[in-house]
Structure 1
Amino acid sequence: DERKREVISLGIGDPTAHSCFHTTNEAKEAVVESLLIDKFNGYSPSAGLPTTRKAIASYLSRDLCYELSQEDVYITVGCTQAIEMALSFLAKPNSNILLPRPGFPTYALCASFRNIEVRYYDLLPQNNWQLNLEAIEDLVDQNTIAIVIINPGNPCGNVYSYDHLKKIAETAKKVKTLIIADEVYGHLAFGETPFTPMGLFSSITPILTLGSLSKRWLIPGWRLGWFVINDPNCIFKSPKIIERINNYCDLCASPTTFIQAAVPKIIENTKEDFFKNTLKMLKKNSDICYEKILEIPCLNCPYKPQGSMVVMVNLNIILLQNIIDDMDFCFKLAKEEYVILLPG
């Protein structure tokens, strides 16, 4: 009976939808302890608990050549709110923002709500989904508020090298704009190229880093993200900017307080074996997916995934009957086979 068939959803980056992915016991224990001590049932400061901000600053500073302070960190309801936060306080009349194509659609949605013009730059599949930096220079003008970089990539599964990220930072400096670095999949790199945080290049140009516990700790439903200002030379940070950020925080709800309170112990107590095991499973699943795609004549994967939890697939419409485009393909696949994919 088709009405009883199970839906296979491959359209959202939620690792908890698959039984092989579970968060670490240390994370669960930290949350239980935080809840049971009965100290974190009230509202938190709008920018987040000081202990949480300090823990995130320390965690991110491990990979940097300078120390972030807790004042550089703002706790958000997942990375989605961090995106909204960044675009909200950067928005100004006639502003535009550079977004990757393919990319994560939430950026364009948030930009439209803030009347920010979206200018897309194309990622190059034949060159490991890298940016065409000359095209970036052509797109930027005096009204450009930021260039968005997603690394590890969503939806392309790419991981940028140190050298490429440095060139991106140098280009941003040349055109006099800052970078929004979406690192929600930070450290989820299982190929030959290791993950490099964009914040390493913040001495070249200011970097706004967005991230969360969601992917690396396999807890997207806990909704714990962050917005971080990487600006050691204080080029971007000014009293006016900080005031605008704080005003935004005052308008919005903070993440659940007892989840925030658990963050220091979640970070401190999680063992490295947990992360290694996650990467091992991601690589295994990615390899299987890539190999199976190669066996299907109408599909092509231009780049073997090296990180994150997603893969970008090219669809050859000519080899399919009664399929108009990628949207039509995804709709009919869901209807006929109960498999959900995202058109791109």
Structure 2
Amino acid sequence: MVIINPGNPCGSVYSYEHLSKIAETARKLGILVVADEVYGHVVFGSKPFVPMGVFGSTVPVFTLGSISKRWMVPGWRLGWLATSDPTGLLRKCGIADSIKNVLDPAPLSPTFIQAAVPEILQKTTEEFFSKTIDILRAASALCYDKLKEIPSITCPQKAEGSMFVLVKLNLSLLEDIEDDMEFCLKLAKEESLVLLPGVTVGLKNWLRITFAVEQSSLEDGLGRLKSFCERHEKKP
């Protein structure tokens, strides 16, 4: 079972109780859990981030992490895989060794990244993390409030983590737009604004919006989005 927490594309954060149920369900099914936590600790809502690894005694857990998100070095595709398996099941079954054998011949990251990583991990201050969270919290709130001003777009929930929010298109209020893909193509052409159509992640007629930009740019982008939707609204 694969879970993504905090979530991309919807900005969700799972509670301890929800993760506990996931672990128990996986145990009953006799399967392990792969936890994608590249946005681990990038949370700014009411729920704290809970690593799936704390449930390792219930079910074996593989955790995927990355330096690019929490430490804000996009493009540095350097990550890690950690196991939480107090009972030793993965070791007994040879799964851990099999993964290690696959990773051993994998190409290494550029040397300058390898040299920088110890400094980044050891010397990044809590002030850096708290400032980042404050910026993302304000951006998430701004995005949510501005989206409520657009009738043809519904934001079901304010993002609580990661850097994205997922919104629903109400195509019945728009004309000359068939689906989310056409919406995004016309938006890019008319407003030079790029959003991810939901169909790319299996959610037709939804949109993924990132708010990890400067506040002025975010306000400008959301203003363009509102203008585009107003221009394409069906006339009474």
Cα distance change of structure 1 residues 308 and 320 upon mapping to structure 2, 3 Å threshold: same
Amino acid paired to 1:316: N
Task: Name the counterpart of 2:224.
Answer: none
Q: Are residues 1:191 and 2:45 paired?
A: yes
Structure 2 counterpart of 1:317, one-letter code: L
Q: Is 2:82 aligned against 1:228?
A: yes
Alignment partner, residue 181 of structure 1: 35
Residue in structure 2 matched with residue 157 of structure 1 by the alignment: 11
Q: Residue 304 of structure 1 is aligned with which of 152, 158, 182?
A: 158
What is the CA distance between 1:325 and its match in structure 2? 0.8
Task: State the distance in 2 between where 1:265 and 1:182 align.
Answer: 24
Aligned to 1:28: none
How many angstroms apart in 1 are the aligned matches of 2:56 and 2:160?
25
| Aligned counterpart, 2:233 | none
Counterpart in the other structure of 2:219: none
Hey, what's the Cα distance between the residues in 2 that align with 1:196 and 1:263? 24
Secondary structure of the structure 1 residue equivalent to 2:104: helix
Find the partner of 2:73 among 206, 210, 219: 219
Aligned residue identity for 1:177 = I
The reply on whether 1:282 has 2:154 as its aligned counterpart is no
SS at match of 2:50: coil
User: How far apart are the structure 1 equivalents of 2:104 and 2:46?
Assistant: 43
CA–CA distance in 1 between the matches of 2:185 and 2:193? 9
Compute the RMSD of aligned alpha carbons.
1.3
**What's the CA shift for 1:265?**
2.7
> Residue 180 of structure 2 corresponds to which residue in structure 1?
326
Q: Which residue of 1 aligns with 2:196?
A: 342
Whole-Å separation in 2 of the counterparts to 1:272 and 1:307: 18
Kindly state the Cα deviation for residue 260 of structure 1 after the two structures are TM-superposed. 2.5
Greater relative contact order, per chain length (Cα 8 Å cut-off, separation 6+)? 1
Query: C-alpha separation between the residues in 2 aligned to 1:241 and 1:149?
Result: 19
Return the letter of the residue paired with 2:73. Answer: I
The alignment partner of 1:191 has SS state of: coil
Tell me the CA shift for residue 264 of structure 1: 2.8
Shift of residue 308 of structure 1? 0.5
TM-score after normalising by structure 2: 0.80
Q: Tell which deviates more after alignment, 254-263 or 210-219.
A: 254-263
> 2-side partners of 1:236 and 1:194: how far apart?
28
Residue of structure 1 equivalent to 2:98: 244
Q: Give the AA of the match of 1:256.
A: P
- How far is the alpha carbon of 1:239 from its aligned partner? 6.6
What do the CA deviations read for 1:141-176 (whole angstroms, capped 9, x no partner)?
Answer: xxxxxx110000100101111111111101110111
| Runs of 4+ off more than 6 Å | none
Q: Report the equivalent of 2:60.
A: 206
The more displaced of 241-250 and 291-300 is 241-250
Q: Which residue of 1 aligns with 2:230?
A: none
**Partner of 2:206 in structure 1?**
none
Q: State how far apart, in whole Å, the 1-side matches of 2:174 and 2:133 are.
A: 35
Q: d(CA) in 2 for partners of 1:299 and 1:212?
A: 32
Could you tell me how far apart the structure 1 residues matched to 2:178 and 2:105 are?
44
Structure 2: gaps spanning 5 or more residues: 199-236
Alignment deviations for residues 258-299 of structure 1 (CA, whole Å, 9 cap, x no partner): 422433332221110100000000011111111111000100
Q: How many residues align?
A: 198
The CA deviation at 1:335 is 1.3
User: What is the CA–CA distance in structure 2 between the aligned matches of 1:333 and 1:322, rounded to whole Å?
Assistant: 12
Kindly state the Cα deviation for residue 184 of structure 1 after the two structures are TM-superposed: 0.6
The CA deviation string for residues 61-110 of structure 1, in whole angstroms up to 9 with x for no partner, is: xxxxxxxxxxxxxxxxxxxxxxxxxxxxxxxxxxxxxxxxxxxxxxxxxx
Q: Residue 217 of structure 1 aligns to which amino acid in structure 2?
A: W
Q: TM-score, length-normalised on structure 1? A: 0.56
Distance 2:190 2:102 in 1: 45
Partners of 1:333 and 1:258 in 2: CA distance: 39
Distance 1:316 1:288 in 2: 21
Q: One-letter code of the match for 2:191?
A: E
**Cα pair 2:90 2:96 within 8 Å, conserved:** no
Q: Give the whole-Å Cα distance in 2 for the aligned partners of 1:223 and 1:256.
A: 10
**Residues 30-45 of structure 1 aligned to structure 2 (within 5 Å):** none
Q: Which moved more, 1:187-196 or 1:242-251?
A: 242-251
